[in-house]
């Protein structure tokens, strides 16, 4: 009798464990940026892909609108987020212990998953401001971006190579999404925005009472910047993306990759599933935003400035994409 009861209890526990295994859920969060930018719909699309395959992976993904790159990197490292979208320069600086991470030191647990689109460092100026190059920003009212955003450091980099700093301008530190209103209200003369194009906030700024221009970021200083900070590259903003600009031709500037990051301790199977769904549904992913028009699987493996997560490596090996992965991305 006792033996029968023991066997029954064991059978029940095994059954219960099996049920828990089958229905075990993994909840993952993806940090993005402002809801009007490219990060938010990108995170939403990735979450949708995972949730569509819930029966296969038992993964439920959610998207969070955040303050941007620095916030996302820090939240991933502390475990407040599982994944985050961040500019490649912020990925590089965190991994190396530079900029905002100078006091904390290198962050060796940061991992890359893949790159996404190119983001252009965009300088938008009022047509009344007489700003035609970044050097003309001296003594002007300029929004550099909110603390924790990628564009704040990009703005500082541009100011530096043109012989300026925050003390030589009248600096503001608000979110880029709020800047078009300030420019149209004539409370600022210009603002920086590192973003994929076309962008709704810039379209909004271009449709206002005050005419605007996108200021080219060009010159001999650019070559030195790219040499010193290889995560930058030259890029062009097509004029066709915006109506009513004062510009007469495409705008040359510098750009940087947007990337998806995670931490080394995130479950390998989760990272594998996310990577697989994005790449296996690549053509659908490309249709999300015009910024992805020139996206290829190969260039989604470029611009990675932290080592790849082992879950992503597993998929790239399985799919044959590993041949496009730089050696220094594999740890």
pLDDT at 199 over 70: yes
CA–CA distance, 143 with 155 (Å, rounded to integer)? 9
* pLDDT value of position 191: 97
Higher pLDDT, 150 or 152: 152
CA–CA distance, 215 with 210 (Å, rounded to integer)? 15
Question: Long-range CB contacts (< 8 A, 24+ apart) of 322-325?
Answer: 324/297, 324/298, 325/301
* pLDDT value of position 132: 97
CATH superfamily name and code, 2-118+258-329:
Periplasmic binding protein-like II (3.40.190.10)
Beta bridge partners of 195: 120
Give residue-wise pLDDT tens across range 159-169: 999 999 989 99
* pLDDT value of position 24: 63
* Residue 101 near residue 109, CB atoms below 8 Å: no
* pLDDT value of position 281: 94
One fold for 2-118+258-329 and 119-256: yes
* Residue 115 near residue 259, CB atoms below 8 Å: yes
Give residue-wise pLDDT tens across range 278-309: 999 999 998 888 878 778 999 899 888 899 99
**Is residue 37 very low, low, confident or very high in pLDDT (cuts 50, 70, 90)?**
confident
For residue 4, give the 3-state DSSP assignment.
helix
Does the N-terminal peptide bond of residue 198 adopt cis geometry, omega within 30 degrees of 0? yes
Helices (H), the chain: 2-22, 39-52, 54-57, 69-78, 88-96, 150-161, 179-184, 200-206, 220-228, 268-280, 282-286, 310-319
Q: Where are the domains of the chain?
A: 2-118+258-329, 119-256
Closest listed residue to residue 153, CA positions, set 92, 197, 78: 92
* Residue 88 near residue 257, CB atoms below 8 Å: yes
Average pLDDT over residues 304-320: 96
| Alpha-carbon torsion (89, 285, 30, 267), positive or negative | negative
The yes/no answer on whether domain 119-256 falls in CATH 3.40.190.10 is: yes
Q: How many CB atoms lie within 10 A of CB 208?
A: 15
Give residue-wise pLDDT tens across range 65-103: 998 899 999 999 999 999 999 999 999 999 999 989 999
Question: Average per-residue pLDDT in the chain?
Answer: 90
Higher pLDDT, 37 or 241: 241
38-42, 157-161, 180-184: least confidently modelled range: 38-42
**Is residue 218 very low, low, confident or very high in pLDDT (cuts 50, 70, 90)?**
very high
Distances (CA, A) of 221 to 160, 161, 217, 226, 253: 10, 6, 9, 9, 12
For residue 222, give the 3-state DSSP assignment.
helix
* Residue 112 near residue 326, CB atoms below 8 Å: no
């Amino acid at each position: 009798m006792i033996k029968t009861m023991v066997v029954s209890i064991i059978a029940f526990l095994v059954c219960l464990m099996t049920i828990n295994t089958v229905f075990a859920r993994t909840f993952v969060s993806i940090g993005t940026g402002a809801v009007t930018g490219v990060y938010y719909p990108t995170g939403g699309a990735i979450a949708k892909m995972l949730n569509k395959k819930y029966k296969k992976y038992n993964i439920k993904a959610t998207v969070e609108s955040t303050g941007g790159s620095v916030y996302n990197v820090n939240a991933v490292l502390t475990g407040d987020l599982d994944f985050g979208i961040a500019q490649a320069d912020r990925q590089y600086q965190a991994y190396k212990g530079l900029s905002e991470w100078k006091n904390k030191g290198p962050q060796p647990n940061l991992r890359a998953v893949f790159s996404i689109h190119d983001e252009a460092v965009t300088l938008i100026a009022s047509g009344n401001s007489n700003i035609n190059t970044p050097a003309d920003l001296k003594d002007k009212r300029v929004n550099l971006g909110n603390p924790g955003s990628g564009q704040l450091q990009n703005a500082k980099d541009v100011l530096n190579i043109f012989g300026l700093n925050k003390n030589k301008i009248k600096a503001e530190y608000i979110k880029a999404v709020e800047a078009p209103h300030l420019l149209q209200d004539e409370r600022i003369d210009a603002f920086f925005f590192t973003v994929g194009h076309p962008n709704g906030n810039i379209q909004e700024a271009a449709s206002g009472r005050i005419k605007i221009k996108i200021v080219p970021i060009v010159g001999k200083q650019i070559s030195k910047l790219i040499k010193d900070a290889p995560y930058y590259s030259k890029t062009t903003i097509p004029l066709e993306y915006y109506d009513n600009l004062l510009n007469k031709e495409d705008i040359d500037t510098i750009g940087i990759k947007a990337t998806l990051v995670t931490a080394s301790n995130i479950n390998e199977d989760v990272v594998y599933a996310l990577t697989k769904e994005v790449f296996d549904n690549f053509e659908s992913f490309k249709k999300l935003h015009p910024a992805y028009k020139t996206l290829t699987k190969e260039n989604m493996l470029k611009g990675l400035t932290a080592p790849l997560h082992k879950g992503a490596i597993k998929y790239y090996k399985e799919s044959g994409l590993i041949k496009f992965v730089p050696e220094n991305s594999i740890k």
